[in-house]
Amino acid sequence: MQLAVQQEDADILLKEKNVLDESVLDKYRVSGQIAQTALQYIISLINDSYHLSKQETPLTVQELCILGDSFLSKLLSRVYNNVIREKGIAQPTTIEVNELIAGFAPEIDDEGAYTFTAGDVVTVSLGAQIDGYTSTVAHTIVIYPAGVEINNEVKPNGPLLGSKADAICATHIATETVVALLGLALSPEKLPAQLKVNGSAAVTGGQIRAVVDSIADSFNCVVLPGSKVRRVRRFLAGQAEGIVAERDFKGTVWDESHQEQKLLQKSTISSSTDLITSENNTSNNNTGTSTQNSSAIPTDDFVILAGEVYQVDIRMASLGEFEEAGLITTDEVDHFTGKNNKDEFNCKSTIHIRDFAITHHLKLKTSRRLLGEVDKRFSVYPFKLAYTCRSFPIKLESDNLAEQIAQIKQELKTNKLGLSELANRHLINSKPIQVTKFIPLDKILLTANPTGNRGIDMTKPVLPGMEVPLPNLGVSSLMLRGLLKHGKPVANVRESSTVLINNVGNEVIRLTGGSKTSTPSWVHSQYKLAGPYVEAIEQIVQLSKDKRFGIKVKECQPYKLSQTVGQAAESMQLD
Amino acid sequence: MASKNSINKPKIKISAHSHAKTLGKKRAARARKNPSSRSATERYSEKAGVAPRPTDSKAIALYTGEAPKPTGVVTNTTLSNKRAKKLARNQKYIDQRNSKTKTQEDAEMDIDEETAEEKQTRVEKVKAALWSVVENQTKGLYKVAVDGEGTTLGVQAF
């Protein structure tokens, strides 16, 4: 279905409103600050309960999620009141441990005991939007075993080693490099000679992919499907990817097909290079023609321009644990127990997003009320059921946190009924919870695939044009899903940051991430940055170090965490 | 209704009836021939040549599978009714001829299945190449060089 939007209105919405003038910049900046502060808050909560053991019972993921969301709402309630129509949580707080990669934000009434153990890598991701100008952030931290006391301060015993550490190193370096590379869009003449294509200086999607892939390779890592460096526009921050396709998509996206291509490049058979080149040609041709029809299909042929905002979202996993060749894909977790005679992890997805293309007259009064509220309060951004409760957000300053949480649990029950009708009528879509799994290559090669690449896995959210995960082998996403029974879970690491390339002030504003909130945990990898782009990467990072060298990078500073909030979290006695 | 042979047959009624019938037939034929409207075709149907209605939105931010094709060739020449009929008739014959040759071509295409075979061999080539990767991996050819120094990030703090 199409929504009727006049061309003039579309021009205003997509072009004029995305021009980075003073008010737009300020909205971006404030949303960045809020996201930064919330990230810092959640990390401090995790530290308090797992590292500094300030609480008797450590906070569970459910509690961390609702505290994070409440904190975000509280910060949002203080800014831009009565000035703009919409503001809110752009991405609910999700907390993913090890192999979980996306969408894990259990509701407070979930009874699973989701806590962390030493050696886990925990990814916290969240986002805020003000008037549709969105900042999202994700950062991975390490849970260390009990620390030692040095100078009256508890500190970790030693750095994290092994494959998880490799992934953290690679992801951190890749993110920093891409941020600096984006900044070079302001002064492309400073681009290292190695990265110039045919002598022309412009930052393109192909360069980003090449650089990130080479960093991943040198740390024996793989860039996971779902990673992307994409342009963000007002209300279009990738929150509905896989549900609503976006015209004029601009960004580099990684999926399984790129892993397949890398494996083909490794092959020692001489004809394999022809295979890749022929495939590249055909795919380029395809995309070339298809971009005319609709540029919703992502390609690497784009140039990063000053005056745009980008989301850098890089997820990596290490192959260090596996002897055999293979590729890493994502699997959707559902709530059906007892499949395959296995004791698998089950969980219901909790993050929902409205699909405005669908209308339906609802039967239940509760669902009608819920739909009205969803349309009004969350618009195109994802939400959790807890947000619709009257007791949300939790008042973090008060002492009766346990009571408030019990109240929310009560209110969730009534809303659940309405939610199921909305979901059944496809008025809302649930975002799947995904885990990363490693599939050995020989298992894929040995499978009979008589039907070819027909068969699309509907539960898997993919961007248009990326429906077939392994195009060279002709393996469909449904087939790949069947092969997941051979899959082994693999821990992943994610760093995400929103970067604004300000053409007016000639500076890069890093809205989220950076040295204040996303400092890497203490890790040691046995690998070192290598590959064809080492010098170029070092040069780029050097350029971004100081504005005198070339790129002026400003970071959004988080607000100071108030003492009262900290105390409330400390004195929280749940259960 | 009275029979054809009856004395007081409703002559006008019968002729009007047959006249209406022929008109209806013509109308139906015209409707069949003209392109169907957008609302009558499915969203992702192959028949993408459906003319967009003026009320169709020109929304940019939504993906519908394909962009509407550029339409609206402006012309100033006017056609007489007679000439238009002639053109339409000729077009009918041209279409018939074309469709005939096309079906012949299709029949020829079905005989050789080279394209399908080629596809098969391509997948096999890819598989062979990937098997070599599997073997080389077990031999340890792709080991990433471990550095003595390594990389350390972060500081000793939570």
Put simply, the chain A residues between 96 and 155 with a CB less than 8 A from any chain B CB are 144, 147, 150, 154-155
Share of chain A above pLDDT 90, in %: 60
Q: Which residues of A touch B60 (CB under 8 A)?
A: 5, 7, 10, 14, 247-248
Contact A419, A370 (CB under 8 A): yes
Query: What confidence category does residue A234 fall into, taking pLDDT thresholds of 50, 70 and 90?
Result: very high
pLDDT above 50: residue A410: yes
Contact map slice: B 22-51 vs A, CB within 8 A: 43
Contacts of A175 in chain B (CB under 8 A): none
Closest to A357 in 3D by CA, of B37, B40, B43: B43
Handedness of CA A518, A523, A524, A527 (dihedral sign): negative
Query: Is the CB of B120 inside 8 Å of chain A's CB atoms?
Result: no
Is the interface score ipTM higher than 0.90? Answer: no
Chain B interface disruption, residue of A6, A148, A272, most B CBs within 10 A: A272
Q: What is the mean pLDDT of residues B118-136?
A: 85
Which of B46, B122, B130, B142 should one mutate to test binding to chain A, selecting the residue with the greatest count of A CBs within 10 A?
B130
Question: pLDDT, tens digit, for every residue of B73-88?
Answer: 666 677 788 888 899 9
Select the more confidently predicted residue: A374 or B101: A374
Look at A221-230, A249-258, A394-403 and tell me which has the smallest mean pLDDT. A394-403
H/E stretch holding A62:
helix A61-77
What is the average pLDDT across A8-20?
A: 88
Pairwise pLDDT comparison (A196 vs A368), residue with the higher score: A368
Do residues A89 and A69 make contact, with C-beta atoms less than 8 angstroms apart? yes
Distance of CA A358 to the CA centre of its chain: 26
Q: How far is B108 from chain A (nearest CA, A)?
A: 25
Cβ separation B62–A472 shorter than 8 A = no
Q: What is the three-class DSSP state of A375?
A: helix
* pLDDT level of residue A334 (50, 70, 90 thresholds): confident
pLDDT confidence band for A282 (50 / 70 / 90): very low
CA A529 to CA A535: how far, in whole Å?
10
Pick A505 or A308 by higher pLDDT.
A308
pLDDT at B140: 86
Residue A127: strand pairing partners:
A91, A136
Q: What angle do CA B143, B147, B149 make, to 5 degrees?
A: 160
The pLDDT score that the predictor gives to residue B157 is 87
Residue A303, strand partner residues: A204
% of chain A beyond a pLDDT of 70: 93
Reported as a pLDDT band with limits 50, 70 and 90, residue B144 is confident
Is the pLDDT assigned to residue A194 strictly greater than 90?
Answer: no
Closest CA in chain B for residue A276: B126
Mean pLDDT of B123-131: 89
The pLDDT value recorded for residue A506 is: 87
The C-alpha atoms of residue A99 and residue A330 are separated, in whole angstroms, by 9
pLDDT of residue A34: 95
pLDDT at A568: 46
Contact with chain A for residue B149, Cβ under 8 A: yes
Is the CB of residue A342 less than 8 Å from the CB of residue A396? no
Each residue's pLDDT tens digit, A462-473 = 888 888 999 988
DSSP E strands: which ranges in A383-442?
383-384, 428-430, 433-440
- What's the pLDDT score for residue B116? 62
Q: What pLDDT, on a 0 to 100 scale, did the predictor assign at position A147? A: 85
Q: What is the mean pLDDT of residues A405-415?
A: 91
* pLDDT single digits (tens) A303-321: 999 999 999 999 999 999 9
What's the confidence (pLDDT) of residue A98? 92
Q: SS3 of A555, please?
A: strand
Asked if B66 and A294 come within 8 Å (Cβ–Cβ), the reply is: yes
Q: Look at residue A288 and tell me whether its pLDDT is greater than 50.
A: no
Find the CB nearest B123 among A271, A357, A474: A474
> Which of B53, B62, B152 is the best substitution to test chain A (most A C-beta atoms within 10 A)?
B62
The mean pLDDT of A505-532, rounded to a whole number, is 92
Q: How far away is chain A from the Cα of B37, in angstroms, using its nearest Cα?
A: 15
For residues A219-237, average pLDDT: 94
Yes or no, beta carbons of A3 and B57 under 8 Å apart = yes
Q: Which residue has the higher pLDDT, A203 or A337?
A: A203
d(CA A297, CA A477): 17
**Helices and strands, counts by H and E, chain B:** 3, 1
Please give the structure tokens belonging to residue A196: 């110039």
Distance, CA of B39 to chain centre:
15
User: When comparing pLDDT for A182 and A339, which is higher?
Assistant: A182
Helix, strand, coil distribution of chain B in percent, nearest 5: 55, 0, 45
Tell the burial category of A109 from Cβ atoms under 10 Å away from its Cβ (0-12, 13-18, 19+).
middle
Residue A434, strand partner residues: A102, A332
Report the pLDDT value the prediction gives residue A573, as an integer from 0 to 100: 39
Q: Give the pLDDT band (50/70/90) at residue A421.
A: very high
Check B147 against A528: CB less than 8 A apart.
Answer: yes
Alpha-carbon dihedral sign for residues A542, A545, A546, A550? positive
Task: Inform me whether the C-beta atom of residue B116 falls under 8 Å from chain A C-beta atoms.
Answer: no
Average pLDDT over all residues of chain A: 88
Distance CA A321, CA A333 (A): 23
